[in-house]
Amino acid sequence: MSRWIALGLRRGMLTTGYPRHPDPGAPPAAVRVRAEALTAEQAVRAADLCPTGAIQVEGDAGTGALRVDMGRCVMCGRCVRALPDAFTYSTAPEVAVRSRERLTLRAVWSRGEGPQPEAIEAAEELQRRSLSLFRRSLHIRHVDAGSCNGCESELQMLGSPVYDLHRLGLFFTPTPRHADCLLVTGVVTRQMEQPLRDTYDAMPEPKLVVAAGACAIAGGPFEGGLTVRGPLDHVLPVDVYVPGCPPSPLALLHALLLAVGRAQERCSPGVRDGS
Ligand code: SF4
Ligand code: SF4
């Protein structure tokens, strides 16, 4: 028996059981906020630490509010290291959402009842009806619109035996003519705006757009740069946002399944004690 067959038999199956079973090796996928554990002064400190403006304080420390935008978070970990009681990593890969607002937590600490994540209604009935058309399989055209290639490294892993996206009916295609879904990484530079629009226009209807990573969602560390035209939703209509820098392969898998209506949206930047 060949050495490789023997090795395969010894190691058993390596492919993740996700989404049917949770993946025990899931890496941190997002920063979670326990806003009620923060004082106003700590919130101001966290806002000062955050390099991308993902944590902001509105108003002054006495009467204002904390705003945390996971679309801007680049997972640098500064807030987690400085204020571990209030900021933690979450390994749950279900971080993708269907509307940009769902990535934002707003918490008010001055009213006495404790901060509450704002309820943001994300009902998009028309979109959901169109998503049901894709239930069985999805062909994905990926476009790098100005990425550092971190997101591509994670995307590449989806084709490995560990994640094996084909088992879920998900396939990358090199041509937009065969694609149901446009998955975009990177900031959308001015040079990539037109090629991106051309790719989108070449896709048949109905079609979906997924913004993958902090750069595509909000510009990430390059927000406001001279050559940046994005974020992506200023250029194309976005159906699913998957935060992270980069998003993990499991988070990308969840986003694609969410896009075709085969997964639930679970993300909320805020956590309550005991949840
Ligand atoms: S981990 Fe995210 S939210 Fe925290 S400081 Fe870094 S960028 Fe800001
Ligand atoms: S989100 Fe992070 S990993 Fe992805 S392209 Fe931007 S900087 Fe690179």
Query: Does ligand 1 have an atom closer than 6 angstroms to the CB of 82?
Result: no
Q: Are residues 170 and 129 in the same domain?
A: yes
Query: Does ligand 2 have an atom closer than 6 angstroms to the CB of 246?
Result: yes
Q: What is the mean pLDDT of the chain?
A: 84
What secondary structure does DSSP assign to 63-85, as a single string?
Answer: T-EEEEETTT-----HHHHH-TT
| CATH number, domain containing residue 81 | 3.30.70.3270
Tell me the residue range of the domain where 183 lies.
Answer: 125-259
Measured between alpha carbons, how far is 207 from 108 in angstroms, rounded to an integer?
Answer: 38
Q: Are residues 104 and 223 in the same domain?
A: no
How many domains does the chain fold into?
A: 2
pLDDT single digits (tens) 3-58? 878 877 887 778 888 888 888 888 888 888 887 777 888 888 889 999 999 998 88
Q: Are residues 139 and 248 in the same domain?
A: yes
- As a whole number, mean pLDDT of residues 247-265 equals 88
Q: Which pTM does this prediction carry?
A: 0.88
Query: Does ligand 1 have an atom closer than 6 angstroms to the CB of 42?
Result: no
Mutate to test the pocket of ligand 2, among 151, 155, 210, 217 (most ligand atoms within 8 A of CB): 151
Answer whether residue 181 is part of any domain: yes
The more confidently predicted of residues 161 and 59 is: 161
Residue 207 tokens read as 């079609």
Q: Are residues 73 and 162 in the same domain?
A: no
Report the nearest-CA residue for atom 2 of ligand 2: 245
- As a whole number, mean pLDDT of residues 65-84 equals 91
Query: Does ligand 2 have an atom closer than 6 angstroms to the CB of 247?
Result: no
Answer whether residue 272 is part of any domain: no
pLDDT of residue 116: 47
Q: Looking at the predicted structure, is the pLDDT value of residue 237 above 80? A: yes
